[in-house]
């Protein structure tokens, strides 16, 4: 099973700042990584798929990069609605589909 490790667990930033979230895979997953955003009381929302492709309707302040074992989600300038929990997920070798433990982006 491929394990995804997200860091940091919590990121405290102010609106307008740049957010950089990391996801590391226990073995190479090529580019088969997605990122999801989840706000309290809501379902997850697909942001990025296959490492760097924005899903439909996702603002361009969200970008993804990486391949192999190291991936990054960048939010170029945080908007108030971006404060949420972010999960990475791999589909390189499944089952099982696996998710990272999440990074909470909170207001500083």
Applying CB under 8 A, the site for another protein has a residue count of: 25
Instruction: Name the minimum Å distance from CB 14 to another protein.
Output: 26
**What tokens were used for 30?**
């090529």
Q: Which of residues 29-48 bind another protein (CB under 8 A)?
A: 32, 34, 36, 38, 42-46
Q: How many angstroms separate the CA atoms of 58 and 49, rounded?
A: 11
In this chain, which of 2, 21, 37, 100 binds another protein, going by CB under 8 A? 100
Q: Does 9 bind another protein (CB under 8 A)?
A: no
**What tokens were used for 55?**
């899903």
Q: Which of residues 63-82 bind another protein (CB under 8 A)?
A: none
Chain residues binding another protein by CB under 8 A are 32, 34, 36, 38, 42-46, 49-50, 55-56, 87, 89, 91, 94-102
């Amino acid at each position: 099973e491929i394990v995804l490790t997200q860091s940091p667990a919590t990121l405290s930033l102010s609106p307008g700042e740049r957010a950089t979230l990391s996801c590391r895979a226990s073995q190479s997953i090529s580019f088969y990584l997605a990122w999801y955003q989840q706000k309290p009381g809501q379902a997850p929302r697909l942001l990025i798929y296959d490492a760097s492709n924005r899903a439909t309707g996702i603002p361009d302040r969200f970008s993804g990069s990486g391949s192999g074992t190291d991936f990054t989600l960048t939010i170029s300038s945080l908007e108030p609605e971006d404060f949420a929990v972010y999960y990475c997920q791999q589909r390189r070798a499944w089952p099982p589909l696996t998710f990272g433990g999440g990074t909470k982006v909170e207001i500083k």
